[in-house]
Amino acid sequence: MSSSTKPVVKFRKNYKPSPYLIKNTELIFQLFEDHVLVSASLNIESNPKSAESVNLPPMELDGVALELLEISIDDKELSDSDYQLKQDLLIIQPTTAQFNLQTLCKIYPQKNTSLEGLYTSGGKFCTQCEAEGFRKITYYLDRPEIMSAFSVRIEGDQQKYPLLLSNGNPASRGDLTDGRHFVEWHDPFPKPCYLFALVAGDLDCLEDEFTTMNGRKVKLELFVDKGKLDQCQFAMDSLKASMRWDEEKFGREYDLDLYMVVAVSDFNMGAMENKGLNIFNTKYVLANEKTATDADFEGVERVIAHEYFHNWTGNRVTCRDWFQLSLKEGLTVFRDQKFSEDMQSKPVQRIDQVKIIRSAQFAEDSGPMAHPIRPDSYIEMNNFYTVTVYNKGAEVINMMHTLLGEAGFRKGMDLYFERHDGQAVTCEDFVRAMEEANDVDWTQFRNWYSQAGTPLVNVKLTQLGAGQFHLDCEQSCPPTPEQQSKSPFMIPIKTGFLDAAGNSLKFKVEQGDWTDEALLILTENKQSFKIECDAEQIIPSLLRDFSAPIKLAYEYSLTQLATQFASDPNSFNRWDAGQNLMSRLLLSNSPTLSATDKEIVEQAFSAILHDEQLDNALKALAVQLPSLNSLIGQSDKVDLDQLFNKSNQLKQHLAKSLEPVWFSIYNTLAGDNAGARWLRNVALSYLLIASEAQYFELAANQITHATNMTDELAALQVIAKSKNGFESEYVEQFYQKWQNEDLVLDKWFSAQVLNEQDNVIDYIRSSLLEHEKFSIGNPNKVHSVISTFSANNLVQFHHASGAGYALLADLVIQLNQINPQIAGRLATQFNQWKKLDSNRQTLIKSQLSKIISIDALSNDVFEVVDKSLK
């Protein structure tokens, strides 16, 4: 580690309230072509809640890469001895309990490639302040509990920046000399600085209006690059749907007269919920049938909703400190998931949510970066915007919802808002509101907040006598880096029983009523439930709808799984039984699949595909093999070569043995809705596995005549994956057609990196990374090429030569200085290495060692790699 400052670990247990508060924040931005001047006037008070504040301790303001030009207190300029500039800190010594601090700083947004703080993207200025980016704009108490009323004045060239936007409502505007103008904004809601935003540029705008439940009119404005207005309507409709949904489901109304969304191409994440002025990655705004797939549309709807829902869960009630991130993120993901379930198919949405948990989150939980949804420590906060905090956090909220029911959950939410509106609070405050509104004791439930790792529940069924059974459950949770032993979790297990033909059975748990579904609540390490059920043989249908983020093990016979797959009334478990069946075969010790194994799956697939009741989207999901990522994510050790081999065998077998079925689906299904398109395109991919030579024409024809991006891309994907993918004229034509549509080009890059032939890494290095449309500074491009390759082309990423690992490491090193946040995230792709064979372990370890020894290593990369090497 040779960086200038040694990384500092921050601990949750060391939290102390800030000795000072900032009541009002007035900012003036003067925008110029190679720099920006930021003047700040801060009304500061000592904090009555801080024990230290009586003595007026020194005040430490955060600041990174700022040139301090002027500083005064209560209009008196400070001399050099009145303040100290340390690494990333400005220290002053207050002499009164209330004062005004004024600073003038010079910053260089045009050179800011970290995409954090104030930066430029496509000729416009924009900001990203969460988590700790505001300190790159001006000296401040950059922590979320400091909530301040902001007034902002922006000055800039009238021609280049006709739009000058910030949070809240515009207060005044006017002309200045030299072709410049200004706009002033005032945000009446005190907010933490991470929710501050500024945008300046020349953009097109789609305008609309929303009338709230109380009849207030809200102006909606969606700003995009010139010429993109025809890709905005869907995002606008999604916004209005989200606003309505939050009123209907949670009684939450929007609070300002204006809601703005700006789309920018260079953005580290999906989007950002800045008060009244969301800033979005273009990927989650721009969409029309020609340019976006059905999956893209869902993504837009989900992220627009997510950011909108933050207005209440995140902005009105925010986090006291960053360890509490899941307070807003877990809850808001839960809310966007429920919204999507209402807008789309509920089981399909649930399956998508669970796939993320089982592949990415289980992997994280079993790797070196494992942390509870409320982490205890971090070096770089940016490394904790994780699937654990977000998606497992949402699962924890979902368990509360399951335990309390819809009405009880709503009561808890109402109490939470009633108590904490306008405050910066903790996860504990949320749990307490839920608990007290419903008069329950969730002492044990809190273990979900404090313990990392994925619990495993082993379930056994024993028959006691006629119609009498015991369901024995035993839970455990493997050690994680900071926690060797775990206390038992409270685990709700939604359960049903089927007879041997797959019919739903009535049953009783302990002294309960007859039912066809029950919620078993596991609280002990070992627990047994008495089941009464009038049947000879019963098949348990466990963890319905994935009622807890755990692994569940039950020794089903393959026939039982096939029965469940064919007929479990719970759609989620029906899909899951299929996944379970295939996982069992693929992860077993035997080096190959037996003929019977393959036939069981074939017959199960055939039944699904011929089931006339089942909708196409569920069919499409059911006939896809569990992803290699989820198989690895769920295992402690994997033999990759064996796994690749067997999964290819199984795909080949299913492609060939069901060839006429795929062919008939492809030819007879009208692709006139998303589900049908999906199934039809799955059929196409099986056909090309069955015989590339024979079916290539179908794909060629489809890519040529497609009228929507879903079909066009599906065809591109199979073509780019084929033997001559790298030289294909169709891949070239796609490029010619879409070369000016950035987001479509991202898909073009991704499709190519999924080719599994040995020359793909050379091709990536020499053609894609060198391509004129590739840009290392653009996170979407890095994602399309490098993350897609290392996360989804596992055969080549894990190539025994180590070339895939070297490629990833080179990019981490290259991005370390350009954009540390993205570099850190890329580096996590090595995190599963301890599950692999010793040859691959050695190869990865040497790449990790190479990374950790470079000069000026960022905290982001250091934290990930250092933990990985431990």
Binding site for Zn ion (CB under 5 A): 329, 332
Tokens of 791: 């996360």
**Alpha-carbon gap, residue 300 to 594, rounded angstroms:** 43
| Burial (Cβ within 10 Å: 0-12, 13-18, ≥19) of residue 811 | buried
DSSP string, 524-575: SSEEEEEEE-S-SS-EEE-SGGG-SSSEEEE---HHHHHHHHHH-SSHHHHH
Tokens of 825: 């995230």
DSSP string, 821-854: HHHHHHHGGGTTGGGS-HHHHHHHHHHHHHHHTS
Residue 385 contacts ligand PHE per CB under 6 A:
yes
**Alpha-carbon gap, residue 566 to 348, rounded angstroms:** 17
Window 126 to 155, contacts with ligand PHE (CB under 6 A): 128, 130-131
One of 307, 380, 712, 863 is an active-site residue; which one?
307
Residue 362 contacts ligand PHE per CB under 6 A:
no
Q: Cβ 184 to ligand PHE, closest distance in Å?
A: 26
265 binds, among Zn ion, ligand PHE, none (CB under 5 to 8 A by kind): none
Task: Choose, by CB under 6 A, the member of 263, 271, 331, 433 that binds ligand PHE.
Answer: 271
Task: Choose, by CB under 6 A, the member of 107, 197, 220, 272 that binds ligand PHE.
Answer: 272
**Alpha-carbon gap, residue 106 to 649, rounded angstroms:** 61
How many residues bind ligand PHE (CB under 6 A)? The answer is 12
Residue 273 contacts ligand PHE per CB under 6 A:
yes
CB 247 within 8 A of CB 253: yes
128 binds, among ligand PHE, Zn ion, none (CB under 5 to 8 A by kind): ligand PHE
CB 716 within 8 A of CB 748: yes
Residue 425 contacts ligand PHE per CB under 6 A:
no
Window 481 to 510, contacts with ligand PHE (CB under 6 A): none
815 binds, among ligand PHE, Zn ion, none (CB under 5 to 8 A by kind): none
Residue 746 contacts ligand PHE per CB under 6 A:
no
271 binds, among ligand PHE, Zn ion, none (CB under 5 to 8 A by kind): ligand PHE
Q: Cβ 167 to Zn ion, closest distance in Å?
A: 17
Tell me which residue has its CB nearest to ligand PHE: 269
CB 543 within 8 A of CB 550: yes
Kind of pairing between the strands at 518-522 and 508-509: unpaired
| Tokens 């055939």, located at residue | 606
Q: Is 307 a catalytic residue?
A: yes
- Longest Cα–Cα distance of the chain, Å, equals 93
Q: Cβ 791 to ligand PHE, closest distance in Å?
A: 20
Nearest to 861 by CA among 869, 851, 847: 851
272 binds, among Zn ion, ligand PHE, none (CB under 5 to 8 A by kind): ligand PHE
With respect to ligand PHE, which residue has the nearer C-beta, 306 or 783? Answer: 306
187 binds, among Zn ion, ligand PHE, none (CB under 5 to 8 A by kind): none
In eight-state DSSP terms, residue 786 is I
With respect to ligand PHE, which residue has the nearer C-beta, 19 or 192? Answer: 192
Angle 640-657/571-587 helices, nearest 10 degrees?
A: 120
With respect to ligand PHE, which residue has the nearer C-beta, 331 or 690? Answer: 331
With respect to ligand PHE, which residue has the nearer C-beta, 53 or 386? Answer: 386
The H-or-E segment that residue 745 falls in is helix 742-753
CB 260 within 8 A of CB 218: no
Contact map string, positions 12 to 41, toward ligand PHE, x by CB under 6 A: ------------------------------
Binding segment (CB under 6 A) for ligand PHE, from list 123-131, 411-419, 539-547, 586-594: 123-131
CB 153 within 8 A of CB 133: no
Binding segment (CB under 6 A) for ligand PHE, from list 41-49, 263-271, 293-301, 860-868: 263-271
647 binds, among ligand PHE, Zn ion, none (CB under 5 to 8 A by kind): none
With respect to ligand PHE, which residue has the nearer C-beta, 306 or 338? Answer: 306
Label residue 118 left, alpha or beta by phi (over 0 means left) and psi (-120 to 50 means alpha). Answer: beta
With respect to Zn ion, which residue has the nearer C-beta, 25 or 278? Answer: 278
Tokens of 831: 């995190």
| Tokens 């850190």, located at residue | 824
Nearest to 57 by CA among 27, 31, 21, 19: 19
State the Cα angle at 20 between 16 and 25, rounded to 5°: 130
Kind of pairing between the strands at 20-31 and 508-509: unpaired
With respect to Zn ion, which residue has the nearer C-beta, 329 or 380? Answer: 329
Residue 810, beta-bridge partner list: none
Nearest to 555 by CA among 524, 584, 590: 584
385 binds, among ligand PHE, Zn ion, none (CB under 5 to 8 A by kind): ligand PHE
Residue 261, beta-bridge partner list: 222, 278
Q: Cβ 274 to ligand PHE, closest distance in Å?
A: 9
Q: Cβ 797 to Zn ion, closest distance in Å?
A: 29
With respect to ligand PHE, which residue has the nearer C-beta, 385 or 572? Answer: 385
Residue 306 contacts ligand PHE per CB under 6 A:
yes
**Alpha-carbon gap, residue 696 to 687, rounded angstroms:** 9
Residue 307 contacts ligand PHE per CB under 6 A:
yes
Nearest to 480 by CA among 389, 378, 365: 365
Residue 391 contacts ligand PHE per CB under 6 A:
no
Residue 825 contacts ligand PHE per CB under 6 A:
no
83 binds, among Zn ion, ligand PHE, none (CB under 5 to 8 A by kind): none
Task: Choose, by CB under 6 A, the member of 329, 336, 364, 863 that binds ligand PHE.
Answer: 329
Task: Choose, by CB under 6 A, the member of 269, 452, 542, 809 that binds ligand PHE.
Answer: 269
With respect to ligand PHE, which residue has the nearer C-beta, 380 or 545? Answer: 380
CB 492 within 8 A of CB 521: yes
Q: Which residues are catalytic?
A: 307
Q: Which residues bind ligand PHE (CB under 6 A)?
A: 128, 130-131, 268-269, 271-273, 306-307, 329, 385
